[in-house]
Amino acid sequence: MALIRFIGTLKLLKKIIVPTSIVILCAAATPSYFLWFLGKTGDCALQSGCQVTHDLLGWQVILPLTTSSLLAIAVVAMFCRVAAWTMFELSGQWSTQEIQAQMMKSICKVRTSFFDENPSGRLINRLLGDYGMLRLDGVMSIGDTANSFADVICVGLLIMIAHPIAGLLILPVILLYVGLQTQLAPMMSHARELRAVKIGEALHRETDLIEGRTMFTLYNKVDNLLERIYKAFNNSLNIQLFYAKLMSWGMLWMGVISAIYAVVVYAFLIVGMHNQTVSVTVAAVVITAVFNLNNLFFGLSWDMSFLGETASHARRAFYIIDLPDETEQESHAPQIVDDAPMKPLKGNIRFENYSMSYREHLPRILTDLNLEIPMGLHVGIVGRTGAGKTSLMQALFRLVYHHGGDIKVGGRSIFGLDVSFLRSHFGVVPQDPYLFAGTIRFNLAGTMDLPDDHLRSALDRVGLKVGLDATVLEGGKDYSVGERQLLCLARLILNRKSYIFMDEPTSSLDRRTDEKIQQLLQTEMSDRTVITIAHRLESLFHYDLIMELSEGKLVRQGPPGEMIPLLQSVYGNIEESA
């Protein structure tokens, strides 16, 4: 099934399927023709001027039975073979890009918790590994199977022409092959699935080593780490070996079938030769053809097993492509429809009896939350760690499972909007200042097309001294954590969103930088709605409103003058001035 669908996606290939199949047939037919021709040459080797006449669509084609004609046929065979493969494989290479694009599209839309449930190793393996196999081996395996099939038919025909009994004997052989395959194929495909899973797990464990090796070496727990890795690795090797055993088993029995076939055919030939009904040349041609047929059968079953692998890769790729859209799985509540879904949002943000959890069956993090963030105000959110502050932000972005209640912006429910449209309203500084591998420019501008001096001035304003084209390693490992946070702030200043959500934006900044940033934010963000999560109360002094969350609920709120002394008693003293 997956295979048929996979073939269906190969658009470019479909366009040139007619010439491709013709060339494949030619490529398969010429070697057989060559043998047949060779047989004829052998027949009249001693007379001069003997020739073969063909009637091709009314044309008389006369080929002298000479070595140069043989050479010509061999060259044609090569040419056809090259052409067949080139057309098949290269067009397939280009066509499979579509599959990758669809996978990426689906990944863009799948629910966020999908990524929590699936280890990254597995996902990367699906998105790149399976795709890569489809691109490289997938199309090839289809082409090879088609080729081998054509080869088998042509050689079969040749045998049929040279010696009809030997030709008819192919039928029971094919039946036996099919019988064998029905036993073997299901096991093979099961083993392949298992193998993919186990390899994924082993790779996933390697991640621990790659990312956490400094921790494990420092604490002298390397043996433990390796033990875990090798356990997973061992499992994957196990299934690999079993798979190999299955292959050998299949190969053996297929070999036995074809050997028996060859012996039977030879018996007929010998008897024929002794009765003078079969000439030596015919016998030689048939023997060579049977020899080739055996190999071709072998090739065919080998290709079929690769085809099986392709099917399993395709199945996994389509699993990704068919993942449901995040909006279908974010709630059981009836879908709300907004009457003007693309009208920009404006107004207060209200949570009304809102409840959420990260996945449907996990405990709720926010429960019956009611709060209102007035437009244009700067609101600080505080709470013990794990209180649900970051969850609040994720709720607003619709990254979580929605159990009930509603979130409204300017009276419009956010659940009626297009998700990416909704998300485009908010500017964010995340709690974990992760930078993407690339350059500073990429991390700063992202989707925006801004002139360099804009970017530079933003960097200046946050006080970061780096070049725009400086490289950034994964996660921003080559910058200090504070520098990464400053970069996130610069990015925030650059994209002028109407709602700003900052999750502990200054947690890794020193006091003086923090203070500068607070002033900068005050001037930059004066006209916008700002929601800041903070642990350091003193950074909220000049805010308009402070809200305290606890266990997923709003406990109290008020202006800083009122709230801060109250909170001080709960959260300990803010820093006394010297």
Q: How far apart are CA 388 and CA 203, in angstroms?
A: 33
Which DSSP letter does residue 525 get?
T
Stretch that binds ligand ATP, among 252-260, 379-387, 521-529, 569-577 (CB under 6 A): 379-387
Report what 377 binds from Mg ion, another protein, ligand ATP, none; CB cut-off 5-8 Å by kind. Answer: none
Alpha helices in 219-330 (DSSP H): 222-274, 280-321
**What is the helix (H) or strand (E) element at residue 545, kind and residue range?**
strand 545-550
**Measured between alpha carbons, how far is 470 from 464 in angstroms, rounded to an integer?**
12
Chosen from Mg ion, another protein, ligand ATP, none, partner binding at 397 (C-beta under 5 to 8 Å by type):
another protein
For position 111 contacting ligand ATP by CB under 6 A, the verdict is no
Between 217 and 480, CB nearer to ligand ATP: 480
**Cα 384 off chain centre by:** 39
CB of 31 to ligand ATP, least distance (A): 60
Question: Which tokens in the block code for residue 62?
Answer: 């006369």
Instruction: Give residues with Cβ within 8 angstroms of 540, minimum separation 6.
Output: 380, 382, 532, 534, 546, 560, 564
Taking the C-alpha atoms of residue 483 and residue 435, their distance in angstroms, rounded to an integer, is: 10
Is residue 389 close enough to count as binding ligand ATP by CB under 6 A? yes
Q: Which of 498, 354, 371, 476 is nearest to 415 (CA)?
A: 354
Query: How many residues of this chain bind ligand ATP (CB under 6 A)?
Result: 21
In sequence order, which residues have a C-beta less than 8 Å from that of residue 290 and are 6 or more positions away? 159, 166, 261, 262, 265, 266
Residue 446 CA to residue 444 CA, distance in Å, equals 6
Contact with ligand ATP (CB under 6 A) among 288, 439, 498, 508 = 508
User: Which of 119, 430, 482, 558 is close enough to bind ligand ATP by CB under 6 A?
Assistant: 482
Question: For residue 81, what are the contacts with CB-CB under 8 A and spacing of at least 6?
Answer: 27
Nearest CA among 199, 266, 263, 208 for reference residue 233: 199
Among 385, 447, 569, 573, binds ligand ATP (CB under 6 A): 385
Q: Which stretch binds ligand ATP (CB under 6 A): 171-179, 220-228, 348-356, 380-388?
A: 380-388
**Residue 365: CB minimum distance to ligand ATP, A:** 4
Q: State in angstroms the smallest separation of the CB of 91 from ligand ATP.
A: 43
Window 428-457: residues binding ligand ATP (CB under 6 A): 431
Q: Is 234 in the site for ligand ATP (CB under 6 A)?
A: no
Count of alpha carbons within 13 angstroms of residue 387, beta-carbon side: 17
For 355, residues 6+ apart whose C-beta sits below 8 A from its C-beta are: 364, 366, 367, 368, 369, 402, 403, 404, 405
**Cβ atoms within 10 Å, residue 543:** 22
Residue 244 interacting partner from ligand ATP, Mg ion, another protein, none (CB closer than 5 to 8 Å by kind) = another protein
**Binding site partner of 523, from another protein, ligand ATP, Mg ion, none, Cβ cut-off 5-8 A by kind:** none
C-beta separation of 145 from 304 below 8 A: yes
> Residue 347 or 482: which CB sits closer to Mg ion?
482
The distance of closest approach from Cβ of residue 465 to ligand ATP in the complex, given in angstroms and rounded to an integer, is 9
Of residues 97, 370, 480, 568, which one binds Mg ion by CB under 5 A? 480
| Residue number with CB closer to ligand ATP (39 or 505) | 505
**Considering beta carbons, is residue 11 or 477 the nearer one to ligand ATP?**
477
CB nearer Mg ion, residue 393 or residue 490: 393
477 binds ligand ATP (CB under 6 A): yes
Residue 351 is a binding residue for ligand ATP (CB under 6 A): no
Measured CA to CA, the distance from residue 302 to residue 299 in angstroms comes to: 5
Q: Find the length of the chain.
A: 578
Interface with ligand ATP, residue 41, by CB under 6 A: no
Answer with the entry of Mg ion, ligand ATP, another protein, none that 184 interacts with (C-beta below 5 to 8 A by kind): another protein
Shortest spacing between CB 533 and ligand ATP, in angstroms: 7
Which helix (H) or strand (E) segment is 193 a member of? helix 170-218
In the window 428-467, what residues touch Mg ion (CB under 5 A)?
431
- The token duo for 149 is 């099939």
481 counts as binding ligand ATP under rule CB under 6 A: yes
Smallest distance from ligand ATP to CB 500, Å: 17
Q: Pick one of 96, 148, 292, 390: the residue that binds Mg ion (CB under 5 A).
A: 390
Q: Which is nearer to Mg ion, 234 or 480 (CB)?
A: 480
> Which residue in the shown chain puts its C-beta closest to Mg ion?
390
Give the residues lining the site for Mg ion (CB under 5 A): 390, 431, 480
Give the residues lining the site for ligand ATP (CB under 6 A): 116, 358, 362, 365, 383, 385-391, 431, 477-483, 508
